[in-house]
Amino acid sequence: MDMGQKIYSLRIQKGLTLEELGNMVGVGKSTVRKWENGMIANMKRDKILKVSEALDTTPAYLMGWEEEKKIISLDNVYQIGLKRFPMLGEIACGKPIYTNEDRESYIIAGTDIKADFCLKAKGDSMINARILNGDIVFL
């Protein structure tokens, strides 16, 4: 979006007429129309500053040096519940090994995982089941 389109868009969002914006900046409505249509390509710095103040934005945004910051609403974000799963050690993918039940750490994961604990996979014999060396297996 070029500067003229940004000025037009912000002016419409604020509900300002060409004349109202022109009065705020100190120019006529025909000058504002020419800015919006790209007929005046080189605006003076003081006018860019006044336009940005009138439209509640920054000169950098109008010039294309930064994008307008959008406020993101978190109202429609699905919240995921979390649960701590004890990591009880390693599980062999190949020859069996003893699992020590001393909790060495915890893994935080979603409550949608139906498990009581987890183990770290060791070995590569379960590759066809998509369990790779180092994966966390929930049991």
- Asked whether residue 119 is domain-assigned, the answer is yes
Which percentage of the chain shows pLDDT scores above 90? 41
C-beta separation of 137 from 87 below 8 A = no
What letter would DSSP give residue 67? P
Give the pLDDT of residue 70.
Answer: 65
Helix axes 3-14, 18-25, angle to 10 degrees: 110
What mean pLDDT comes out for the span 27-35? 93
Are 9 and 58 members of one domain? Answer: yes
Please provide the DSSP assignment of 34-66 as one string: HHHHTS-----HHHHHHHHHHTTS-HHHHHTSS
pTM (predicted TM-score): 0.48
Over residues 4-13, the pLDDT tens digits come to: 999 999 999 9
Rounded Cα distance between 88 and 102, Å, is 6
Task: Name every residue whose Cβ is closer than 8 Å to that of residue 114 and which is 6 or more positions away in sequence.
Answer: none
- Asked whether residue 77 is domain-assigned, the answer is no
Look at the chain and report how many structural domains it folds into.
2
Token readout for 137 is 């297996």
Are 52 and 9 members of one domain? Answer: yes
Give the pLDDT of residue 90.
Answer: 82
- Asked whether residue 76 is domain-assigned, the answer is no
- Asked whether residue 56 is domain-assigned, the answer is yes
* CATH number of the structural domain spanning residue 29: 1.10.260.40
Rounded Cα distance between 29 and 32, Å, is 5
For residues 101 and 16, the model is more confident at 16
- Asked whether residue 120 is domain-assigned, the answer is yes
Token readout for 2 is 């070029």
Domain hosting 56: range is: 3-63
